[in-house]
Amino acid sequence: MRKLYAVLAGLLLVAVVAQMYFAAVGAFDKPQDDDSFALHSVTGMMIIPALSLLATVVAAAARVPGRQIGLTILPLGLVIVQMLIIALGGAFDDSTGNTTPLSLAVLGLHALNGMAIIGVSAWVFRGARQLAVTGSRPAAGGAPREGSSARAS
C-alpha cells in the first residue's frame, strides 16, 4: 500500500511539473485562443486534484503519519487557491475586460502559488518514497528517524 502511495505521489509531482510546462505552451501559442491553455486547464482542474485526492486516500489507508496525509491533500487546496487568484484578479479588470495594474499584481500570484504547489508535491513525494523504503518519514536533516522500522508494505 505504501509503495502504491509513493507511485501516486510520484505521478502527482510529474503532473505538477507538466502543469508548468503547459503554462508555457499556452503562453507561447499563437494566435491566443480558447484552446491555448486547454492542457493547462485539464491538468489543473482534473488531473492534479484527482491525484492529490487519490494519493491522500491511499496514504490514509496505508496508515502513514497524519502530517504526511495532510501534506498530500495540500496540492488540491492550493489548486483551489489558483482558481481564486484568477477570479479575484479578474474582478479588478477594467470595464472593457482588460487587465489593470492591480489585476495583474493579483494574477501574478498564480505563478508564485504554482511554485508552492511544486515544492509541496516534491516534499510529499520525498516523504512517500522514504515511507515506502524504510517505513519512516525523513527527519528534518534528511536522514531516516532513529528507531524506525524497516517494514514497508
List 6, 13, 69, 79, residue binding ligand HEM (CB under 6 A): 79
Binding flag, residue 91, ligand HEM (CB under 6 A): no
Q: Is 99 in the site for ligand HEM (CB under 6 A)?
A: no
The per-residue DSSP string of 108-151 comes to THHHHHHHHHHHHHHHHHHHHHHHHHHSSPBPTTSSBPTT----
Q: Is 151 exposed, middle or buried (0-12, 13-18, 19+ CB in 10 A)?
A: exposed
89 binding ligand HEM? (CB under 6 A): no
Question: Minimum Å distance from CB 96 to ligand HEM?
Answer: 17
Whether the CA torsion 17, 22, 28, 32 is positive or negative: it is negative
Tell me: does residue 106 bind ligand HEM (CB under 6 A): no
Minimum CB separation of residue 102 from ligand HEM in Å reads 17
Q: Which residues bind ligand HEM (CB under 6 A)?
A: 16, 19-20, 23, 37, 40-41, 44-45, 48, 79, 82-83, 86, 110-111, 114, 117-118
